[in-house]
Structure 1
């Protein structure tokens, strides 16, 4: 087992991965962060809620998703931010005058040069413009070209292509397992029965597992000893 790497403010990378599970943001101004994804920081940094504080002009120009506003903050100041999400794989991506739709639970942070909008597909948001964003995935991300059909649970997002259609394998549904489900109600749709179908030009992002990242409540205090508001020490 290799020795652990010890970082300080000078040795942390700038806008790059510290390791496969943590990303270091060089903050010199503002970034949008999903609550609960910052694990540590150096420097003079404040965190303002969406719709509150002195950054309303920035929010008005870059954040257009009222359903997700309570889950996001603006990091403002100078320093280095370490981002992570439950030891999932973390990667950064660059959009250049692009259009990318991503599962909302996978998106950790983005530069305010990008504009975030609410997707018409439930559970997804869309980033438009030029800039960097950071996202998590359950395993390595693969980039594939349409036309393709994707298991909905493996789908991370898609760039510069039309929104997907639902595709159902009716032969599979009409077969033995479909009949069992109809009679008993046992079983749910798998990726072999139901897929998202992509057509046209663009890129589809698929993670290496069919287990989605669970949505995590970010508004409550963790009920753990040693955390303010948690249970008392024994």
Structure 2
């Protein structure tokens, strides 16, 4: 076990400028944003900041009635906040591992619980998985992000990306699915024999099937989602 003097501890753990741009991984589980303007972040993810930064929770009608209605349908507890100003902002989410993606006109679907931050240049929309909403506790929703700019997503432990091809579809556990390429639309399939074999709750009997060309990102952890109570 490492034992540091205070000076050694400070030197080993202090913040370092890596010159990576707007989004920078300060540690694998801490995102540094070199803010000069505005970004969107998961509400409650701010750990620390320096400089002149103002935080504002998203307004009820911030993104129009359509997204408000979808958020009400999903019952999801994830909400966004705006950070405006100039300075360094540090974000984290329950110690989850952070991955930074720089979209160059592509699109990606991200599980709503795994979206940490994104630039305002990114277009986004909430997608409710209606077929599965009544089959899992709390349902499941995701966010489609597209355009040009940086996004940060999170995963419990190291993410694994599986390539999907027309002749080789991929099946995943919805609770372990983090993201997938915007070219894919998952189907939901149930397997009663699999459920019986596992001998656990209904979650294991529902699988997401990805067909076509693209990728899907999974994590070695099953997240449990709860419906937000009003």
With the shorter chain as reference, the TM-score category is 0.7 to 0.9
Max Rg structure: 1
Assess if the C-alpha contact under 8 Å between 1:161 and 1:202 holds in 2: yes
When the two structures are aligned, how many residues end up with a matched partner? 199
Greater shift in the superposed pair: 11-20 or 130-139: 11-20
2:159 counterpart of 1:141: yes
Residue 188 (structure 2) aligned to one of 166, 172, 184: 166
Could you tell me which residue of structure 1 aligns to residue 39 of structure 2? Answer: 31
Assess if the C-alpha contact under 8 Å between 1:105 and 1:215 holds in 2: no
Q: Which ranges of structure 1 fall in alignment gaps of 5 or more residues?
A: 182-186, 218-234
Partner-residue secondary structure (3-state), 2:13: coil
In structure 1, C-alpha distance between the alignment counterparts of 2:78 and 2:201, rounded to whole Å: 31
TM-score scaled by length of structure 2: 0.75
Q: Which ranges of structure 2 fall in alignment gaps of 5 or more residues?
A: 130-139
Assess if the C-alpha contact under 8 Å between 1:149 and 1:195 holds in 2: yes
CA RMSD of aligned residues (A): 3.0
Partner-residue secondary structure (3-state), 2:174: coil
Runs of 4+ in 1 over 6 A off after TM superposition: none
Could you tell me which residue of structure 1 aligns to residue 222 of structure 2? Answer: 211
Deviation string, structure 1 residues 49-104 (Cα, Å, up to 9, x no partner): 2228xxx9xx559x973217982111111111101111111121111111111111
2:212 counterpart of 1:200: yes
Assess if the C-alpha contact under 8 Å between 1:138 and 1:213 holds in 2: no
Could you tell me which residue of structure 2 aligns to residue 130 of structure 1? Answer: 148
Partner-residue secondary structure (3-state), 1:109: strand
Give the superposition deviation at 1:116.
1.6
Give the superposition deviation at 1:214.
5.7
Assess if the C-alpha contact under 8 Å between 1:35 and 1:72 holds in 2: yes
Partner-residue secondary structure (3-state), 2:128: coil
Choose between structure 1 and 2: higher helix proportion. Answer: 2
In structure 2, C-alpha distance between the alignment counterparts of 1:214 and 1:6, rounded to whole Å: 35
